[in-house]
């Protein structure tokens, strides 16, 4: 899915409102999409490449943003390929998340295939039962 198409989808979660669609939410940080409810954020990044560095970068940037009073979750939406699956990326990210744990208020990272997140080109409602079933969760223990 092209970046511009993803940013223009109607991403939604109960009680949250659109915060940004590719715009800068902190100096140098432009996630693909974010939703906000008070100091709680849902940050979405869509990556159709196979570079694991891109996913580590997304986690690092979200972790840095979600500090102080801000907390939330990161949703990584990906195009699965033979050498890059949801499970592989989830396993790859776990050690980085453990390392970042004392520095961030990032609670959970969800990794979901684009085909599962956008069946019939309409995104699932985030943080709802079907979304939980279709995504892989990477819990970050002992969040501040």
Apex 36 CA angle, 58 and 75, nearest 5: 30
**Mean per-residue pLDDT for 71-91?**
92
CA-nearest of 115, 139, 109, 131 to 48 is 115
Phi, psi angles (nearest 5°) of residue 28: 80, 5
With respect to residue 57, please indicate whether it lies within any of the assigned structural domains: yes
What is the model's pLDDT at position 36? 98
Phi, psi angles (nearest 5°) of residue 129: -55, -50
Helix/strand/coil for 34: strand
pLDDT tier for residue 144 given thresholds of 50, 70 and 90: very low
- CB-facing half-sphere around the CA of 134: CA atoms within 13 A: 21
* DSSP codes of every residue in 92-112: HHHHHHHHHGGG--EEEEEEE
What is the model's pLDDT at position 142? 53
With respect to residue 144, please indicate whether it lies within any of the assigned structural domains: no
What is the model's pLDDT at position 4? 86
With respect to residue 8, please indicate whether it lies within any of the assigned structural domains: yes
What is the model's pLDDT at position 141? 61
pTM of the entire predicted model: 0.93
Domain that holds residue 88: 3-139
Q: How many domains does the chain have?
A: 1
Please give the mean pLDDT across all residues of the chain: 92
């Amino acid at each position: 899915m092209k970046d511009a198409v993803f940013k223009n989808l109607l991403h939604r979660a109960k009680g949250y409102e659109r915060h940004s669609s590719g715009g800068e939410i902190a100096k140098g940080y432009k996630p693909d999409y974010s939703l906000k409810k008070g100091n709680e954020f849902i940050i979405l990044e869509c990556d159709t490449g196979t570079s694991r560095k891109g996913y580590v970068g997304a986690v690092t940037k979200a972790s840095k943003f979600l500090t102080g009073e801000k907390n939330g979750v990161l949703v990584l939406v990906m195009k699965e390929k033979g050498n890059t699956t949801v499970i592989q990326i989830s396993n790859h990210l776990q050690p980085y998340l453990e390392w970042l744990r004392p520095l961030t208020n990032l609670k959970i990272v969800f990794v979901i295939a684009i085909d599962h997140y956008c069946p019939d080109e309409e995104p699932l409602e985030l943080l709802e039962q079907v979304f939980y079933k279709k995504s892989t969760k990477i819990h970050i223990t002992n969040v501040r």
